[in-house]
Every structure is written in structure tokens, then in C-alpha cells.
Amino acid sequence: MESLAFITIFYYGVLHAFGPDHLTAIADFSIGKNKKKTMLITALFALGHGLTLFIFAKLLQSYDISDSILAYGDVISSSIILGMGIYLLIMVYSDRIQLRKHIHNGSEHIHIFFGKEHTHNSSDIASAFSVGALMGIGGVRGMLVTLGVVQAQNVDFTLVLSFTLGVMLVFVSFGTVILYINKNLLNSKQNLNRVFTTAGIVSVIVGSNMLIG
């Protein structure tokens, strides 16, 4: 029974990760990043997602919280996606997304950054973990339903780990698609603006539809 529960929750994690809000968030954070950062972002987003689900699912098992309150989790997820889309569009149309090329050891390197100067920091990686954690609140209800299907009495770490692995599988796979875009499309300022504009518009549409729905 335990192996069946693990497989069921893993499969739910895979299906859950295919939600347009999750893929949109991964795209927004990963576009323009190098391979290492893209993989870190996708992995940390999934980890933050799983940890939040574990904490809130534990709380919900101990306290009787109404469905109307749980619905606010969806509002938080929707608002994050909408806000990210608006932010990207503002960055594009205020010309604050920059592309710089240089030659290093005989090969061309492209750096994409927000603002006037290129700096090396890990704020986007930390933000990916935080956003993944916040958006995890919106998935608590669905996970508890799935746990009920497998008749789990407690939300233990093993089940949450299986869910996180399922989410991570999809996110990392999607991250390879973003890497292809980064490598083959983001080679000029015009393409850069087009890709970020598209990502921003998609985020606004997805976030708005979730809020309205």
C-alpha cells in the first residue's frame, strides 16, 4: 500500500506541475539564464513548492479550515503570476532588459540582465524558492484529496518527497526547453524583447484567467 501511495502522489506531482501557472512561473524566472541557474531555479521552485505543501497539509490535518479560506491560496498563486507578467512587460517597455556580448577564451558569451549594469547575484534563485513556496499554498487542497484517495492517515515526509520529485521531473524537463530558447533565440536585443514580451503577456493572461475563474 505504501508503494502505491508513493506512486500515486508522484503521479499527482507530475500532473500538478503541468499547470499553466507553474510552467509560466518557471519560464518567467528562467528566460535569459545560463544552464546552471536554470536548473537551480527549477529545482528550488519545486523544493519550495513541496515544503509549503507539507507544512500546510500538516496544519490542515490538525485544524478544521473552511474551503473558502483555502481558496485564498489560489488567489495568491494567480496574483503572483499576474504580477510577474506585468513586471516583465514594464521592464521591456522601459528598456531595462539588457543584452551584452563578449568573447571569452575564444567563444562568445551573452549576458542578459535587468537594469543598467550587469551584476552577479543569487536573488533570482532565492526568489524562485520563495515564489514556489507561496504558490504551493494553492495546491494544498488537491494534494489532500489525493492523499484521501490513497487513504493515507498522515501527511509524512515520504509522500511529500514523492510529490516534490514528480513536480521536479516536469520542471527540469521544461527547463531544458527554456535553455534551448536561451541558446538559440536570445541572441539579439530584438529577439530578447520579443521573448520577454511574450512571456509577460502569457503571464498576464494566465494570472487573469485564474483570478476570474
DSSP 105: T
Q: Choose among 130, 211, 136, 163: nearest CA to 15.
A: 163
Dihedral-angle region of residue 115 (phi above 0 means left; psi in -120 to 50 means alpha; beta otherwise): left
Return the pLDDT at 63: 65
CB atoms near residue 153 (< 10 Å): 7
Return the pLDDT at 144: 59
Average pLDDT of the residues in 168-182: 85
pTM above 0.85, yes or no: no
Q: Where are the domains of the chain?
A: 2-212
How many whole angstroms separate alpha carbon 158 and alpha carbon 124?
Answer: 29
The CB-side HSE value for 176 (13 A sphere, CA atoms) comes to 5
Cell of 62: 490538525
> 180 or 86: which carries more pLDDT confidence?
86
> 33 or 62: which carries more pLDDT confidence?
33
Beta bridge partners of 108: 103
Q: Find where cell 507553474 sits.
A: 22
Most confident of 115-119, 155-159, 180-184, 193-197: 193-197
At 107, is the pLDDT very low, low, confident or very high (cuts 50, 70, 90)? Answer: low
DSSP 187: S
**CA angle 10-130-45, nearest 5°?**
35
How many whole angstroms separate alpha carbon 184 and alpha carbon 178?
Answer: 10
